[in-house]
Amino acid sequence: MKLSQLALGAALAFGFVAGAAAQTVMKINISTAQTSHQGVGIDVFAREVEKRTNGRYKIQTFYNASLGSERESIEAVQLGTQELTLTSTGPVPNFVPETKILDVPFLFRDKAHARAVLDGPIGAELLTKFDAKGFKALAWAENGFRHMTNSKRSVNTPDDLKGLKMRTMENPVHVAAYKGFGIVTTPMAFAEVFTALQQGTVDGQENPLSVIIASKFDQVQKHLSLTGHVYSPCLFLMNKAAFDKLSPADKQAFLEAAKEGTKANRAKVDEDDAKGVADLRAKGMTVVETVDKSKFVAALAPVNAEFEKQFGKANLDKIRNYK
């Protein structure tokens, strides 16, 4: 009896081990909080992957740059030490230069325009550029339109930006544009921004309302101006070798899960944009809601001339005029 019980116990134990081994665990991380638009995006993505692969793949989610900054995470995904990340496009041009064009200021009219471009043939073609660099780009998600905050003064015109020391993303297009405004640019990883603002190392930063709210920047910034100067996409990135190992059905499951994650992520951006100004005012920020965008565009005329040389006017117009 004891022997058969032992045998049964061993068989059961072996069954559990085999069952456990059948589940592949992967990691995904973001630099913002779980409550943010990115947090919502990866939580839905993780749930959808598990559901669509019948639990054979489990996605562990990490927040607040706990596995490293955006740039470090992209490097880890490229190397294969981490399978997935959801990242803003801030550091992405350092890996895939073709994506730089999306960071040109005032390129997109509104969110509907930006989403149409990224979900259409232009966005699809850009996603293919990642393959040769060790990534599978699963989907374009969203940060939203970026706005200026600072601790010194209200920004109504481009002149109000002159001399402000602002944190910028580690992105050559952003840095060139903000220098055009007369900003003293300080590129740094997102995880360092709150402390830099708190200590006065920089006067301000620029980010979409979703990021400003989730990061509690209202605690260290007094002034917000809705400049909407740059549209900021996000990307679900996967290690190319890890993606290539998946069966065709599982590849489809990951791609569909990323689409669902994107839907949830964009819905959260819309929600934050709708209630963000009232929310931040209630927390003590002064908000300039209406700026004369034409003045900001005019201030960047010399920089835009350089961008037209760099990217080709036809390529920029193709995005600007996309219907």
Helices (H), 120-247: 121-128, 172-180, 193-199, 209-214, 240-244
pLDDT digits (tens, 9 = 90+) for 110-121: 999 999 999 999
Residue 22: pLDDT band (50, 70, 90) is confident
What's the pLDDT at 262?
Answer: 98
Q: In 3-state terms, what secondary structure has residue 198?
A: helix
Question: What are the structural domains of the chain?
Answer: 2-320 (3.40.190.170)
Residue 1 has pLDDT above 60, yes or no: no
pLDDT digits (tens, 9 = 90+) for 248-307: 999 999 999 999 999 999 999 999 999 999 999 999 999 999 999 999 999 999 999 999
CA distance 192 to 260: 30
Residue 4 has pLDDT above 60, yes or no: no
pLDDT digits (tens, 9 = 90+) for 73-106: 999 999 999 999 999 998 999 999 999 999 999 9
Closest CA to 297 of 208, 204, 227: 227
Mean per-residue pLDDT, 143-167: 97
Closest CA to 238 of 23, 45, 2, 78: 78
What's the pLDDT at 305?
Answer: 94
Burial of 9 (0-12, 13-18, 19+ CB in 10 A): exposed
Mean per-residue pLDDT, 150-177: 95
What's the pLDDT at 74?
Answer: 98
- Residue 128: C-alpha distances to residues 118, 124, 134, 229 (Å): 12, 7, 11, 27
* DSSP H helix total and E strand total for the chain: 13, 9
Residue 245 has pLDDT above 60, yes or no: yes
What's the pLDDT at 170?
Answer: 84
CA distance 116 to 58: 31
Residue 8: pLDDT band (50, 70, 90) is low
CA distance 59 to 29: 10
Q: Pick the residue with more confidence: 283 or 189?
A: 283
- Which residues, including other chains, have CB under 8 Å from residue 163's CB and lie 6 or more apart? 182, 183, 184
pLDDT digits (tens, 9 = 90+) for 35-68: 999 999 999 999 999 999 999 999 999 999 999 9
Q: What is the mean pLDDT of the chain?
A: 93
Tokens 């109000």 sit on residue: 160
Residue 21: pLDDT band (50, 70, 90) is very low
Residue 171: pLDDT band (50, 70, 90) is confident
Residue 5: pLDDT band (50, 70, 90) is low
